[in-house]
Structure 1
Amino acid sequence: MTNAILTGPGCVLESVQPKFMVSLLQDDDATGEMPQQQFRQRLTQEILVQTQQQWVAPGVYRKQLAMSLQLMEKLVAMHDPGHLALTLINQRLQHLLNTESPGALHYPMLILLHEKFVARCAWKEKALMQRGLTVQAGNHCEQIFTRWRAGVYDTWSLSRRCFIALEELRWGAFGDACRLAGPDVATLLIDNLRSMATEYLALSIHAAPATRHFYHHWITPMNGKGEYSELLSWMGDWCDVDKHPVCWSVSQRWQNVASGMPRLCSAGRLAAAMIEEMF
């Protein structure tokens, strides 16, 4: 990918920033495969330029925890991430407190940040509950599918458009509602999402929702368009080939499809599988 990320594919995806904030605190074992690591390094350099933040020599930034913490805190202040990002940041800060030496220079910073983010996460949860989670989720879902219908995600193949839309929802207000609302509300939201995703996939391939197609029809880019594969692979770096075979096959284009990926797949089955694996 030769285009800049934040002015190219990243500019249309709201989930890029919160995911990057979380990834700043991940250790080397959680950064994924080499293509994902290389993409994250490029994204880091772009964000450093954007935020005018100083950094260390390329390739060793992950070992500089203090700088990662400073950049993460600055980005959170700039972008106000959702409940999922704050929760994952909290979990990672707690893990670092449990594993880092209390004598380390950055340990006091860890303590202060953890206290700050515990309070921020609690405030965010309270604010979300007061605003009406179901309404917020419905508005967010409609917004994302409107973008899909308008062609915002047309750079990607059919199945990857769906994956992108679901990731946008997972990191935003829709995902917050699914996690914070009661199980009955979450079930209602997921059922509606499954119906909408199935409808949009079926319309995209000009077939009935139950009509099965070979998987490559879902994965191959439309009209010979290129894809931002590195971005997609990085967004799907949470996927496990055995636990999330469909999402893994859709997002990790540089790999072969997983054995759990159906070779014949309808819009309904594809949408249901990705939603089940993601939510």
Structure 2
Amino acid sequence: MSSLLQGIQTRALECVAEKFVVDFAKTSGVTRELWHSQQSKAYYQRLSGEFIGRSQLQKWAMDEVLLETPEFTLAILGQLCQRVAKKHRAMAIVYDSVCAMSAASARVNNEARETRQLFTQVQQQLAQRVAKLEAQFNGTDLTHLGIVHCEQVFARWQAGHYASFSPAGRCYVALQELYWGAFGDALRFGSTLQATELVEQARALAIRQLAQDVNASTRTRHYYYEWLMFPSTAAMMESKEALAWLGDDCDSEQQPVSFATTQTHQGVSLGMPRICSAMRLGSAMVDEVFN
């Protein structure tokens, strides 16, 4: 297991690239959303250096005015959407963010004609990309894609790919992989019955793997800190920051289990059960992520 941990970086998670592009759109320009923690911000900044390029960021940082312009944001978004984000969910959210950015920019700035044209161009490109991805769903067995994706993700968990996280953190990471990928597409574009079946499959696998990770039955109860404890590895701090970033938008009241799992630097949410089994923990987290 230790040799496997050394070869797997949190950035290798498929959901990281998708969420990063969405966060870049949300945290740029006049529609900027603030981070809920320094851990989330720190991890995002390191991702920026990798996905955009440290030397390029340093060059742009010399001109703070440039960093605030719509032209800068749109130019980088265009590159990221071509190179980094591949899935429908991310593209659809980025499209909505650009539309909001365009409306907000028009209200607060006296935009040049070139800027308005650039917004229109990027919106059209994103709309075409989203439509193309949606067209690919036609005639596709979404349930089969969702099942295969689900099995792949939980096979990685079982093989130790998420072992640098806490047991509960591994569950959250696995569910985020599903949320941003083909499994999530199947939930949103399939029938209600298909979506229910897929969620129940994920629930059963999450509960089973959580129990295996703590070498207990699915109904054996443990104090919450056993579920939230990170293994002592060289990757522990990065894993904590990555988990905080992945769950940065978790609400302590609406998603208490996910909040307690990801925001370990804060106090445990009141809705997090102090003693819980794999069945209770996994089932609650599945509901919080997919409902």
| TM-score, normalised by the number of residues in structure 1 | 0.90
Q: Say which is worse superposed, 165-174 or 124-133, in terms of deviation.
A: 124-133
> 1:24 aligns to what SS in structure 2?
helix
* Aligned residue number for residue 199 of structure 2: 190
* Aligned residue number for residue 65 of structure 1: 70
Q: Which structure 1 residue ranges, 4+ long, deviate > 3 Å from structure 2?
A: 50-55, 58-62
* Aligned residue number for residue 276 of structure 1: 287
Alignment of 1:39-78 (within 5 A): 39-49=43-53, 56-57=60-61, 60=64, 63-78=68-83
The reply on whether 1:92 has 2:93 as its aligned counterpart is no
* Aligned residue number for residue 3 of structure 2: none
- Aligned-pair Cα RMSD in Å: 2.2
Give the deviation of 1:79 after TM superposition: 3.5
The separation in 2 between residues aligned to 1:38 and 1:192, in whole angstroms, is: 34
- Specify every segment of 5 or more residues in structure 2 that has no aligned partner in the other structure, as ranges: 1-6
Q: C-alpha deviations, 1:13-56, integer Å up to 9, x for none?
A: 01111111111111433433232222212221222228967852
> 1:265 aligns to what SS in structure 2?
strand
Q: Say which is worse superposed, 65-74 or 162-171, in terms of deviation.
A: 65-74
Give the deviation of 1:245 after TM superposition: 0.8
* Aligned residue number for residue 3 of structure 1: none
The residue type paired with residue 143 of structure 2 is T
The separation in 1 between residues aligned to 2:54 and 2:181, in whole angstroms, is: 23
The structure where helix makes up a greater share of residues is: 2
The reply on whether 1:260 has 2:267 as its aligned counterpart is no
| TM-score, normalised by the number of residues in structure 2 | 0.86
The residue type paired with residue 22 of structure 2 is V
Work out the percentage of aligned pairs sharing the same amino acid: 31
| Residues 231 and 80 of structure 1, relative CA distance in 2, 3 Å threshold | closer
Number of aligned residue pairs: give it: 272
Q: Say which is worse superposed, 163-172 or 74-83, in terms of deviation.
A: 74-83
User: Aligned to 1:215, which of 224, 227, 232?
Assistant: 224
The separation in 1 between residues aligned to 2:191 and 2:132, in whole angstroms, is: 19
Contact kept, 8 Å, 1:245 with 1:258, in 2: the verdict is yes
* Aligned residue number for residue 183 of structure 2: 174
* Aligned residue number for residue 123 of structure 1: 132
The separation in 2 between residues aligned to 1:212 and 1:86, in whole angstroms, is: 40
